[in-house]
A and B are shown apart, each in its own frame.
Chain A
Amino acid sequence: MATRVTTNPKVSPFGTTPKPGAGSGAWETFSWYFFRVSGVALILLVILHLVIMHVTNDVSSTTYDFVAHRYANPFWRVYDLTLLTLALLHGLNGLRIVCDDYIRTRGTRLAVQSVLFLTAVFFWLMGTMTIITFQPGKTVAASILGLLHH
């Protein structure tokens, strides 16, 4: 039997989400702060990323050699890893909030949240593998084998 979840109206008259009140738990409060802190960081990270990839360079010239040159500097790997992590968590947590607005039963919410969590893990591992293992002239398989041999 499905349990109905009572929800406060999430949307204030001004299009923003009120800070979770008593009863929402520490998790929702953390989530609320995380949106704002990661959001501010992402403004800088994403806009600089867009300017580099679409303004100072044309996207079609961001070739293999372009990436090789860029990733010779570990700064850009750390930059991209930060961007990947924050964007995925901010975005999928946003999708969780959207789903919670439409799904009112506890079981379905849990199922959807599990899928979102696994999606986050899968795509984070995929992106992280690409960023960390990239070595010019080597395929990802060769890079991973090389790492294992050391």
Chain B
Amino acid sequence: MTPNTTVCPRCDAENVRVLTTSPVPGRWTMHVCDTCVYSWRSTEPSSVTDPPAYPPEFKIDPAEIPHLPATPAVPRRR
């Protein structure tokens, strides 16, 4: 199966770019999603690289991201 390089397995956003490639050329490529910051390597199993195979309990809706709690909260400026 051709590794997924266009859709984020976790949030399904089509906001994916190449993160880096292997120091020994041609061994693997890593991609990152600029919406949810999920990253994966081309040599990993389809369970973490293929959007339909990614388990629903670990998926995230991009609309939820701005509403996640901030930890720690940003304090008021003095």
Indicate, yes or no, whether A interacts with B. no
